[in-house]
Amino acid sequence: MFSRLLSPSLCAALLLPFLSTAHANLPGHGVRMVTILSITDGDSMLVRTEEGREMRVRLDGVDAPEIGQEGAEASKRALEFLCPVGETARLRTRGRDHYGHVLARVECRDRPVAVLLVSYGLAWATPWRNQESEAHLIPLQRAQRQARSAGVGLWAHPEPPTPPWEWRRAQRIERFGR
């Protein structure tokens, strides 16, 4: 399914609009440098702060396939490639998710990781967030439209996999009946 993913010319065409502007207007509060300790899945990682504290981080604005879901392994491998263990990353934190993970825009090697994952077709831009009040989401939505038009990653087949938020809901219903 993801065989068209790494075509250099396709990646370049998808990424050029984002590389210069994707993080130009980000607010400066909540910025910290961290070291990547491990990649948990396609949208989360374990990091160590400069103070030596470990924290779980979830990429803000995206949702990648869950472990056990089609596309999960490719998404995780891409995040491992973009943010190798031991590398330094820049986080722009926004708070915590309902699991207590830090929500952050992550840059590895000065590249906006969430935008890259979405442009590769390996994660969804979260549809429930308000683009007008959160300008940093606009490049994610643009990347998703372009990835979908190009038919890469999740969009390589006419019927893309179930979005992770729907998959998680179905798993909860199956497990708990609600």
CA–CA gap between residue 93 and residue 60 (Å, rounded) = 8
Whether residue 114 lies inside any domain: the answer is yes
Residues 6+ apart with CB under 8 A from 174: none
Whether residue 146 lies inside any domain: the answer is yes
CB atoms within 10 A of CB 74: 20
Q: Which of 58, 76, 56 is nearest to 66 (CA)?
A: 76
Percent of the chain's residues with pLDDT above 90: 54
Whether residue 2 lies inside any domain: the answer is no
pTM (predicted TM-score):
0.77
Whether residue 73 lies inside any domain: the answer is yes
Check residue 127 and give its pLDDT. Answer: 74
Contact by Cβ (8 Å): 33, 89:
yes
- State the pLDDT confidence band at 6, using cuts at 50, 70 and 90: very low
Query: Can you tell me whether residue 137 is helix, strand or coil?
Result: helix
**Could you give the number of structural domains in the chain?**
1
Q: Is the pLDDT of residue 68 over 80?
A: yes
- State the pLDDT confidence band at 161, using cuts at 50, 70 and 90: confident
Enclosing domain of residue 126? 8-176
Residues in the chain: 178
- In sequence order, the β-bridge partners of residue 47 are 36, 55
Whether residue 19 lies inside any domain: the answer is yes
Average confidence score pLDDT of the chain: 81
Domain with 140 in it: what CATH number? 2.40.50.90
Whether residue 1 lies inside any domain: the answer is no
**The tokens 């470990």 sit on which residue?**
54
Average pLDDT over residues 103-112: 95
Whether residue 3 lies inside any domain: the answer is no
| Pairing label, strands 31-41, 44-49 | antiparallel
Q: Is the pLDDT of residue 73 over 90?
A: yes
Check residue 18 and give its pLDDT. Answer: 42
Contact by Cβ (8 Å): 74, 100:
no
Percent of the chain's residues with pLDDT above 70: 79
Contact by Cβ (8 Å): 117, 69:
no
H or E element at residue 3: none
Check residue 41 and give its pLDDT. Answer: 95
Backbone angles phi, psi at 68, to 5 degrees: 95, -10
